[in-house]
Amino acid sequence: MPQFDVNQLNQAKANVTLTQELLTKVIEKANSDPILATEALKQASNEISSALTAVTQVQKSSQAQSAE
């Protein structure tokens, strides 16, 4: 049975939570402050990438353990 890196999964979860907060800010500021909305959208995109990287690393590690 594969072991999961809980720390990386927690990091991914934190990235997703931050992404949700940033997207809420984008929605709220879309009309009133498009510059802030754009910056928040860029940061949200970065957080999604970080979350995906962490999940992918855990998945690859899990697959490698299963192959052993």
Give the tens place of pLDDT for each residue, 10-55. 999 999 999 999 999 999 999 999 999 999 999 999 999 999 999 9
**Residue 44 within a domain:** yes
First CA to last CA across the chain, in angstroms?
A: 10
Number of domains in the chain: 1
| Residue 67 pLDDT exceeds 90 | no
Range of the domain at 44: 7-61
Distance of CA 49 to the CA centre of its chain: 6
**Residue 21 within a domain:** yes
Cβ atoms within 10 A of the Cβ of 4, count? 13
| Residue 2 pLDDT exceeds 90 | no
Cβ atoms within 10 A of the Cβ of 22, count? 21
What is the structure's pLDDT at 50?
97
